Amino acid sequence: MALRNFAEATRCGYAADLRHFLVHLAATFGIESVNEVQRTHLHQYLAELDRRGRAGATRARKIAAIKSFFGYLEDIGAISANPARGMPRPKQEVHEPRVLTEAEYSRLQEACRGHQRDRAIIQLFLQTGLRLSEVANLTLLDAQVPTNGIPSSIGAVRVKGKGRKQRSVTLNWKACQAIVAYLTDRPATDCPNVFLSRNGSALSGRAIQRIVKKYMAKAEITHATVHTLRHTFATHMVRKGTNLRVVQEALGHTSLQTTSRYISLAREVMDQQLQANAL
């Protein structure tokens, strides 16, 4: 998996999916060698996942892991035929992303105002659209934050996104202000990560999730996750007229088509707000 330049989270997810698949093969068909796997085994495995009510996205991810695995075995000559070649992706259910309203994200910002570190984390998500892993792995060397106190100051962070692709994301003045305030009180430690726990170690992704969840509850926001903040950033940037290419670059999307879905979401948000705030 590492040879294919997958991100660490992808490698871990694929490894778990493959273990599940191999255990199923052994338990159901008595298969102990990858050379024994036939296309029918893959179809029966998918059918079993469907019977168990696994979502289309889950089945698609497992098939992606299996196809990558057998593709690798084929590349190194470990198998004579690839049973997963050309397998179609299962259809996925289409779910509209959850997006915070302006009132909700304002409450969230207010809820964390009294804690410099947590405020910086939430502002970073809202003002940049970074992924959870990107925030958790952010180091001091990755962050260029002006300390002159000028409101119009602009900074940047260098992050490693999906496929280990690096990009630079602008920090607007709100993000800069929150990060500078936190760094002023940040404990002195040899840990290079920007965000630290109470004992001076790097905050894990799971810990950041708990922090965001705590303030979501305090702000009375339901059915939202850390990833909701990424959708919120993108949707409201588009709604406010930010160029779609700029949003694409910030999010790290390879295709503009992926980013363009926020156009319809922005329209829905605008409709809702104009309806709710009728004069």
Task: State how far the Cα of 185 lies from the Cα of 196, in Å rounded to an integer.
Answer: 11
Report whether 126 contacts 105 (CB < 8 A).
Answer: yes
Task: Please give, one letter per residue, the 3-state secondary structure of the chain.
Answer: CHHHCCCHHHHHHHHHHHHHHHHHHHHHHCCCCHHHCCHHHHHHHHHHHHHCCCCHHHHHHHHHHHHHHHHHHHHCCCCCCCCCCCCCCCCCCCCCCCCCCHHHHHHHHHHCCCCHHHHHHHHHHHHHCCCHHHHHCCEHHHEECCCCCCCCCCEEEEEECHHHCEEEEEECHHHHHHHHHHHHHCCCCCCCECCECCCCCECCHHHHHHHHHHHHHHCCCCCCCHHHHHHHHHHHHHHCCCCHHHHHHHHCCCCHHHHHHHHHHHHHHHHHHHHHCCC
Instruction: Give the C-alpha distances (Å, rounded to integers) separating 79 from 38, 74, 76.
Output: 12, 5, 8
Catalytic (active site) residue 215: no
Among the listed residues 98, 167, 253, 261, the single catalytic one is 253
91 is known as an active-site residue: no
Annotated active-site residue 262? The verdict is yes
**240 in active site:** no
Catalytic residue among 131, 186, 231, 236: 131
- Please identify which of the residues 59, 62, 230, 236 carries the catalytic annotation: 230
The answer to whether residue 198 is catalytic is no
Q: Crossing angle for the helix pair 256-276 and 244-251, nearest 10 degrees?
A: 110
Pick the catalytic residue: 162, 167, 174, 213?
Answer: 162
- Nearest Cα to 58, choosing from 68, 46, 73? 46
230 is catalytic: yes
Active site residues: 131, 162, 227, 230, 253, 262
